[in-house]
Amino acid sequence: MSLPANTDSDHWVSWSDYHELIERLALIVHESGWKFDKILCLARGGVRVGDVLSRIYDVPLGILATSSYREAAGTVQGTMDIAQYITITRGTLDGKVLLVDDMVDTGMTFGKVRDHLLKQFPAIEELRTAVLWWKGHSKVTPDYYVEKLPTNPWIHQPFEDYDSIRPHQLEAWMRKGKRSQS
C-alpha cells in the first residue's frame, strides 16, 4: 500500500523511510565530529531513534518519559510532564550527552527538558540535541536534524496505527493485513 502524497499540512512516513531517517541522523552526528558519552532519548517518540543510535554508536542509552500530546488521540499539545527518574544503563547522566527525540515541534518539550536536565544533573558537561524532524514554528533549534519542515505539517509516523488499535482488535487487524501494508 502506498502512502498519500505529502502536503503542507500532512507529512507521511513509511517504516523504510523512518529507518532511513534514523540512519541519516546517525551519519549527520558522526560527520559533525562531536563525540558524546551517552544518549538520552525522550519517550515515547524518541525511543526508537535513541535505541538505534545507541546501537550504532555503542554508548549507553537513557530514557526519560515526557508527555504533552495526550489529548485527542495524541494530536493536541497540553501541559508538559517530565518523569521524576531517568532509566539508564551504566552509571548516571554525566559527561557529553546527546538528547534525542523524533521531532522538535513547538520546542516546548526540548526547552523544558534541557533546563530540567542541566539543573538536576550538574555532571553533564555538554548537552546537544538530535531529531529526525524540525518544524518551522519551533522556538528551539536542534543541533542535529534530518528534515526541516517549514509548513509545520502533522507527521504521520508508521507506528501511529497502534494508537487506534486495541488488544481485542489485533487478530482481525492482522487478518486484514494492515500490519504488512505500512
Q: Collapse the DSSP code of 23 into the 3-class scheme (helix H, G, I; strand E, B; otherwise coil) and give the result.
A: helix
Residues near 60 by beta carbon (within 8 Å), at least 6 away in sequence: 37, 38, 39, 54, 88, 89, 90, 91
Joined grid coordinates for residue 136 = 518551522
CATH of domain 11-181: 3.40.50.2020
Residues near 179 by beta carbon (within 8 Å), at least 6 away in sequence: 161, 173
pLDDT along the chain (182 residues), means of 10: 88 96 98 97 94 97 79 55 81 93 92 91 96 96 97 91 84 75 48
Q: Side-chain half-sphere of 3: how many Cα atoms within 13 Å?
A: 16
Nearest Cα residue to 136 out of 124, 127, 145: 145
**Cα-based distances in Å from 115 to 40, 82, 105, 119, 121:** 14, 11, 17, 6, 10
Predicted confidence at residue 68, as pLDDT, reads 63
Predicted confidence at residue 50, as pLDDT, reads 97
Predicted confidence at residue 178, as pLDDT, reads 61
Predicted confidence at residue 162, as pLDDT, reads 82
